[in-house]
Amino acid sequence: MTNQEYSVTVIRDFIARHYLIGGDWGPENEPNSHHFRLELSLFGDSLDQHNYMVDIVEIESALDAFVNRYRDAMLNDMPAFAGQNPSIELFCRVAWEEIVPQVSAATVRRAVVTMWEHDQARASFSADI
């Protein structure tokens, strides 16, 4: 086989608030809430001695810590967004930078964070580990 790849995805839901800055985005310039759906997908070419690419419990722990930090928060007030427009794209990168380093499996080579802002809008950030 060539170009084989494994993936594991774990999902969490939470509500957070924000308001956009630096432009005229109508109602989004005012504080508002979104029901976010966070998906962390990890990719690798091999499995460990237990036939896992990564321990899902480890992923769940990292996601839970992130969600607990941002649940019901005003994103604009969080240090990761200081002075920046809290766009969904930036939120994906913030999530990647905070979550992925906590997943220590040697078999994982790439991670993708996808954040749904609502049923019709999502953004992603991906990078090799």
- pLDDT band at residue 23 using 50, 70 and 90 as cut-offs: very high
User: Looking at residue 94, what is its pLDDT?
Assistant: 98
Architecture of the domain whose range is 6-128: 2-Layer Sandwich (3.30)
Kindly state the percentage of the chain with pLDDT values over 70: 98
Contact indicator for 67, 10 with CB cutoff of 8 Å: no
For tokens 């928060």, name the residue. Answer: 73
Give Dmax (Cα) for the chain.
54
Q: Rounded CA gap, 89 and 81, in Å?
A: 12
Q: Model-level pTM?
A: 0.94
Task: Give me the amino acid identity at 32.
Answer: N
